[in-house]
Amino acid sequence: MTATAADRRNYRSTNTELPATYRRLVAEAVTYYKGALIADVGGAARKVTGTSGLKIIGWCEQETFLGSTTDPAYMDVEVHSGLIHLALDGSNTPSATNSSDLMYAVDDQTVGTSSVGGTLSPVGRLVRIEEVNGTNMALVEVGLINNTVVDLAAGYVALADLASQATGAGYGGKLVGYDDASSFTTATNFDDVADELYQNALSAQGFIDLMPCDFALLTGAPLAIFANGASAVPGLAIVDSKVQAIRWNDNATNDGIISSFGVPPDLDITANGTVTIYASKVGATVGDAVTFAVGLYNQVVGALHDADTNFGGTSGAMTGNATSKTVQAVTLTITAADWAASPAGVTLTLKPTDTTLGTDDLCLERVRITYKKKILTS
């Protein structure tokens, strides 16, 4: 199809809003045929040609001939928002798979699917191909609103960019501003805000704290009140009237304690975890660089409760000559491969490693299990 050489009939869809007709100053000395697509240039009307940067506002209501631009001349432009049939460009013809694609003006009555390298102007979105009087035509949703020049065709480009998952400042959530009135973030668009939220969600840590009262002796007996002396059995103590702890005497070999916890639903079993032991010594003997023997055993639903092997180990060492009563933190890594998924349970055993304690008393304040959280999808 070529540019209009005579009046044409515009076939509107039955879903199209009724048009409104407005007078427009014409911009060039040409014949404006009825039904030809019209663009706005600085408030004046001009015939649509295959060029970029045009704001297409409607079509000519009746044939208008302007032989000279010396005297002001006006034309009636039919401006509306809705669906319209336009001719198809033979070399740039859409198919059913192009539905919802942006259509570009090849001339004042013809559209195609390509902007030809940005040299054509957008008209609107393709709804479908329809046969009209034996000829296939493009049913295009043209974005035109009353007498105000609203570049809805360009708006379609913006909507396409808004829906795009491409990277860069001109796409997706980067186009949507974010007003952080409470100064929670420096992000200024929703793409960056979402990145921060997901970064936080994906890097968030969970904690399980085991306090002194959560432990029992390895025999299953409850912890008794600590007895100062030569006993290897630990006991509950209120140390210096301020600290609840499990306390061991200054023995080279001591008895252990036991506790358990359930694997949380949000624990990410693909990431390592950490056992952190918070303890202090009453004394500052350099040779008492205590480590802890930690036992860990999974109890998995459907498996035997004693099926698992110990995936614990030996913690890092306390600083033997740290100032007496200084709370120290030593750790042991839980390898990702050793985690069992929720609703598994884990049994934890703990004791000072043999021969690492001999002169000072040892006080356990708490044990923390740290894990990486996962995003729950159900």
* Domain membership flag for residue 11: no
Per the model's pLDDT, the better-predicted residue between 99 and 368 turns out to be 368
Q: Are residues 108 and 231 in the same domain?
A: no
* 115 and 177 in a common domain: no
Is residue 263 domain-resident?
yes
Q: Residue 370: what pLDDT?
A: 97
Considering the domain architecture, whether residues 231 and 343 belong to the same structural domain is answered as yes
Contact 57, 142 (CB under 8 A): no
State the chain's mean pLDDT as an integer.
83
- Whose tokens are 């934890």? That residue is 348
Instruction: Pick the closest to residue 57 from 76, 33, 39 (CA basis).
Output: 39
Q: What DSSP character marks residue 174?
A: G
Q: CA-to-CA distance for 13 and 139, rounded, in angstroms?
A: 8
Using the predicted structure, report yes or no on whether residue 146 has a pLDDT greater than 60.
Answer: no
Q: Is the pLDDT of residue 309 over 80?
A: yes
pLDDT at residue number 42: 75
The yes-or-no verdict on residue 150 having pLDDT over 50 is: no
The CATH number assigned to the domain holding 354 equals 2.60.120.260
Domain final position from 136, 163, 190: 163
Q: Give, in degrees to the nearest 5, the angle at Cα 144 between 141 and 145.
A: 135
CATH number of the domain to which 96 belongs: 2.40.300
Q: What is the DSSP string of 64-112?
A: EE-S-SSS--EEEEEE--EEEEEEEPTTS---GGGTT-EEEESSSSEEE
Same domain, 245 and 334: yes
Domain co-membership, 214 together with 342:
yes
Instruction: Give pLDDT, residue 38.
Output: 80
Q: Is residue 304 part of a domain?
A: yes
Shared domain check, 211 and 199: no
pTM: 0.58
Share of the chain above pLDDT 70, in %: 78
Three-state DSSP class for 314?
strand
Q: Which of 134, 163, 192 is the last residue of a domain?
A: 163
More confident residue, 115 or 220: 220
Can you give the residue range of the structural domain that contains 78?
20-163
Residues 138 and 265 in one domain: no
Does a structural domain hold residue 127? yes
Helix (H) or strand (E) holding 236: strand 235-239
Those residues with Cβ within 8 angstroms of residue 166's Cβ, 6 or more apart along the chain or in another chain: 172
Same domain, 150 and 235: no
Q: Specify if 377 maps to a domain.
A: no
Give the burial string for 311-345 (b: 16+ CB within 10 Å, else e).
bbbebeebebebeeeeebebebebeeebbbeeebb
Given a contact cutoff of 8 angstroms between Cβ atoms, the answer to whether 266 and 206 are in contact is: yes
Q: Domain for residue 278, yes or no?
A: yes
Same domain assignment for residues 42 and 140:
yes
The number of distinct structural domains making up the chain is 3
The verdict on residue 113 lying in a domain is yes
- Indicate if 115 and 82 belong to the same structural domain: yes
Is there a single domain that holds both residue 130 and residue 224?
Answer: no
Question: Which band of pLDDT confidence, cut at 50, 70 and 90, is reported for residue 225?
Answer: very high
Instruction: Show which of 203, 218, 253 is a domain's final residue.
Output: 203
Angle at 226 between CA 220 and CA 228, to 5 degrees: 135
Query: Is residue 366 domain-resident?
Result: yes
- Is there a single domain that holds both residue 309 and residue 273? yes
Q: What is the CA radius of gyration of the chain?
A: 39
